[in-house]
Amino acid sequence: MRLNGAGKSLDLTRPCVMGVLNITPDSFSDGGRYLQVADALPRAEAMVTEGAAIIDIGGESTRPGAPLVSLQEELDRVLPVVERLARDLPILISIDTSKPEVMREALKAGAGLINDVRALRLPGALEVLAANRDAVVCLMHMRGEPGTMQQEPRYTDVVTEIRAFLSERIQACEMAGIGRERILVDPGFGFGKTLAHNLSLLRHLNRFVDLAAGVIAGLSRKSMIGALLDAPVGERVSGSLAAAVLAAWQGARIIRSHDVRETVQALRVCAAALAAD
């Protein structure tokens, strides 16, 4: 299976890594480090050297309790970086946004993947993707909004309910003319889930594999890792790698990570085991 976006192709026959590049002052892990193109480009180049297959650029933090960012501020943050990276790097560039206007302008600037925590639910978002047939989308599940999503999240059956939500969003995409070969899904670890919910999703991630072209798992350095290890953000690499391998073993084909080199190495071992007789 190959994924194609903005003229760049991605092999999904084995797990690969999406490197995280936050162009924000307040993201939970690397906020404030890559606000300028002069800082973001070397980091992106380093991630490519380390083996990243995708760079995911975000201009608005979606950590629990994060404030909203205006349209113009998000555009000002991400467009120069998207344009430069799409021009200079050989890999797929992703834009992490929910705003249709940011999607549209980022695609014009060379992005090939839209990574939307709201699963194209904002007015106009579906139309942007339907109009651009050379773009891929990741539909993610989030309960509520970043400001409120961790306020007593409850599910009767977290896996079944999130699978149903993603299936409904895929149907909405198909009705708009966006085929499943252009759709990825992400159950949204940490986005309106307790630790128990997150662990159940990880244990049963294989139940999402048949929904679309592939599954993205974003577990890197998240609070669930911190809770399990009693570790601050900067000391969650080993736990994140364990979660990445478990996700890949359950069928995830794209692992979103802040620690690209280590994750690429761990997934190579995992892929070799999966391919063995």
Residue 29 is predicted with a pLDDT of 56
Assigned token pair, 250: 């359950």
* Greater model confidence, 72 or 148: 72
Of the pLDDT bands very low, low, confident and very high (cuts 50, 70, 90), residue 104 is very high
Judged by DSSP in three states, 187 sits in coil
pLDDT at 97: 97
What are the pLDDT digits (tens) for 4-41? 999 999 999 999 999 999 998 755 556 557 678 888 99
Token digits of residue 191: 């986005």
Quote the pLDDT of residue 152: 78
Residue 93 pairs in a beta bridge with: 55
**CATH number, domain with residue 241:** 3.20.20.20
What are φ and ψ of residue 164, in 5° steps? Answer: -65, -40
Which pLDDT band holds residue 226 (cuts at 50, 70, 90)? very high
| Buried b or exposed e, range 25-60, using 16+ CB within 10 angstroms | eebbbbbebbbeeeebbebbeebbebbbbbbbbbbb
Return the SS3 of 107. Answer: helix
What is the distance of C-alpha 166 from the center of its chain? 15
Annotated catalytic residues are 222, 256
Average pLDDT on 118-134 reads 97
Q: How many residues does the chain have?
A: 277
Full residue range of the structural domain in which residue 240 is found? 2-275
**Tens digits of per-residue pLDDT, 244-260?**
999 999 999 999 999 99
Confidence of residue 200 (pLDDT cuts 50, 70, 90): very high
| Average pLDDT of the residues of the chain | 93
> Residue 230: left if φ>0, alpha if ψ -120 to 50, beta else—which one?
left
Burial zone of 122 (CB within 10 Å; 0-12 exposed, 13-18 middle, 19+ buried):
middle
pLDDT at 217 over 90: yes
Helix (H) or strand (E) segment spanning residue 254:
strand 254-257
**pLDDT tier at 42 (50, 70, 90 boundaries)?**
very high
The total domain count for the chain is: 1
**φ and ψ at residue 54, rounded to 5 degrees:** -145, 145
- The tokens describing 240, both together, are 């994140």
pTM confidence score: 0.94
